[in-house]
Amino acid sequence: LVRDFYLMKKIGANSFRTSHYPYSEEHLDLADELGFLVILESPFCLSGVGNLIPKQEIDKWCLDPEVRSKAKKMVEEMIYQYKNRPSVIMYSVANEAPIGYENCRSLVRELSEFVKSLNPQTLVTFASHRLDIGDLSNVVDVISLNVYFGWYTEGGDLDKAIARLEKELEVVHQRYPGKPIIITEFGADAITGLHSDPPVMWSEEYQGEFIRRYIEVLIKKPFIKGVHVWNFADFRTPESPLRVILNRKGVVTRDRQPKASYWILQKLFAER
C-alpha cells in the first residue's frame, strides 16, 4: 500500500476514485496524510449488469425494494464511516448504472438525493458510461464520465477515436454548460513486454499513445476539471475472451512495476 502511494506521488497524481467500493481505513489514512483528493464510491457497481440479468429484467430489478434498500444502506454506511476524512471530497453513488432504464435512472436519482438529505453541502456524483445523463444532471454536482473511444469502439484507430472524443465532449458541455466534468475512466490494456511499432492494441506503445493523446485533448478543455486514468495497476478478473487473465489497463503491473505509459504520464503531469 505504501508503494502504491509512492508510485502515485512519483507520477504527480493528486487524486483517485475508490473503484468500485470504499477502501480500507489504512488506505484513507495515507490519502489524508499525503494530501490526495478522493472520490469515495459505493459498492453499487453495475458494470456489465446485462451479462448477469436478462436485459428485459434490468428495469424490474432496479425497482425491487430490496435492491433499492441495500443500495441506499451501502451509501449511508459509507458516508457515516468516512464523513470526517479530509481526503474525501465527493461521494459516487454508483458506477455505470444502466440509466437508459427509467427505474435504474430513478434509483440513481434517489441515491443522489439521499446523500444531499444527509448533508446539503456534500458533493455527489456517479460514474457514467453514458454521455447523456439526462435530468440526472440536476441531482449531481459533477458529471463523471467513463470514456473508451479507441478501445471498446474505434479500436486501433486513435485518430478516429480522438476526433470522436473531442466532438462528444463538446456535445456534453453544450448539454450541461453549468456542470464541471471529470473523466473518471479512460485507458487501454497493455500486456507487459509486448511492443509494437507502429503501436497496435495490447502493446505498451498503444496504451502509452492512447493515454498521451487523451490527456493532450482533455487539458485543453476548461470544463474538464480532472482526469483519472483507468487504471493504476493490473488486477485479476473473471475469465473472459476480453481479458488475458488480468484487466491489463494498469499503468503499473500487478506487482507494481511501471509500464511505458507510467513514464508518459509522469512527463505529462510534470508539464502541468
Distance CA 92, CA 87 (A): 14
Residue 240 is predicted with a pLDDT of 83
Q: Tell me if 137 is assigned to some domain.
A: no
Question: 172 and 79, same structural domain?
Answer: no
Q: Are 230 and 185 in contact (CB under 8 A)?
A: yes
Burial 75-114 (b: 16+ CB within 10 A, else e): beebbeebeeeebbebbbbbbbbbbebebbbbbbbebbeb
Given 146, 177, 200, the domain boundary residue is: 146
Residue 109 is predicted with a pLDDT of 97
Active centre residues (catalytic)? 96, 185
User: Taking the model in full, what pTM does it have?
Assistant: 0.95
For residue 58, the SS3 value is helix
Distance CA 51, CA 172 (A): 28
Q: 59: domain range? A: 1-132+142-146
Given 146, 172, 204, the domain boundary residue is: 146
Question: 71 and 107, same structural domain?
Answer: yes
Q: Tell me if 233 is assigned to some domain.
A: yes
Residue 272 is predicted with a pLDDT of 74
Q: Give residue-wise pLDDT tens across range 246-256.
A: 999 999 999 99
| Phi, psi angles (nearest 5°) of residue 47 | -60, 130
Q: Are 31 and 38 in contact (CB under 8 A)?
A: yes
CATH code of the domain in which 271 resides: 3.20.20.80
pLDDT < 50 positions in the chain: none
